[in-house]
Amino acid sequence: MALLASAAPIRAQENFVSLDYPGGTLTAARGINNRGDIVGSYSTVPPPPYHALLIHRGQYMPLAPSTLLGADQSEAFKINDLGDVVGEFVGDDGFFHGFLLRKGVVTTLNFPGASDTYAFGVTNSDTVVGQWDVLDADGNTLSSHGYIWQAGTFTEWNFPGSVDTGIYGVDERGDLVGGWDAGITTLQHGFVCSEGRCSSFDVPVQGATLTQVNAINMRGQFVGTYFDASGGFHAFLAVGAKYASFDFPGAKFTSAWGINSRGQIVGRYKTPDGKLHGYKAEFGK
């Protein structure tokens, strides 16, 4: 897979649609499947707390409100074509735990020995990917690592040569995307691993200080977020050797978190008043 061999721009976006939970104070869109179902989170009071959200055929629905996802602070990150959802929730212990929601049943995902576990991606065969960390007594991160969960078994996975790794997306081929760094004092880079070959990836924007790849589809398109020199964040779409940096019109900051095989992108943006909104976008070819 060629990763930005030349920094050729993609044609400008065709349209953006804002996604806002009715009466909400916060909405985030994190994942979209090939049927167009969107997952994320919402809040109806000054956040936090926030709760996992499903947007199906234009209807905004709290996700599994009768389970612990409704009782605790929770967020959904990806949804597969079967309707299985992964994400995170805050438990009674104050730590983050991953979850897999399938047919109304919540499976809690805790990497052995981890302080926090996050579930960021899921395939149609229920392979889950994510990140786990270890914290010190003051809540500082000592280390973070990626993982792959299959049939109840966790396998640690780290980008080659990294100190810290997070896996934020996976496709049906098993291609992985995410972020890595060489230590907490170094910059974070994105990565794409396809057919056993891993490539580090940085958005070719002057002054960019961080790159994170959050999702990949079966067409090899991937999306994510980067920070500029002033600390503001922006979304990007990459297709082979072409890329586009983009922001929701009028937004202060924009991130991209999900893309399906139709090229529909979801994410969140912040308006100048500080409010967070979700969005869906489609780009020209």
In this predicted structure, what is the pLDDT of residue 229? 87
The whole-angstrom separation of Cα 111 and Cα 156 is 9
The whole-angstrom separation of Cα 158 and Cα 161 is 8
**Phi, psi for 172 (deg, rounded to 5):** -70, -20
Domains of the chain as residue ranges with CATH:
8-283 (2.120.10.30)
pLDDT digits (tens, 9 = 90+) for 103-160: 999 999 999 999 999 999 999 999 999 999 999 999 999 999 999 999 999 999 999 9
Instruction: Give the residue carrying structure tokens 């199906």.
Output: 56
In our burial notation (b when 16+ CB lie closer than 10 A, e otherwise), range 74-90 reads bbbbbbbeeebbbbbbb
Cα 252 vs. chain centroid, distance in angstroms?
Answer: 20
DSSP, collapsed to helix, strand or coil, labels residue 146 as strand
Confidence of residue 7 (pLDDT cuts 50, 70, 90): very low
* pLDDT at residue 2 tops 60: no
Confidence of residue 1 (pLDDT cuts 50, 70, 90): very low
The whole-angstrom separation of Cα 261 and Cα 30 is 15
The whole-angstrom separation of Cα 278 and Cα 281 is 10
| Top-confidence residue, 67 or 2 | 67
Averaged pLDDT for residues 20-28? 96
The whole-angstrom separation of Cα 96 and Cα 264 is 29
Instruction: Note the pTM of the prediction, 2 decimals.
Output: 0.93
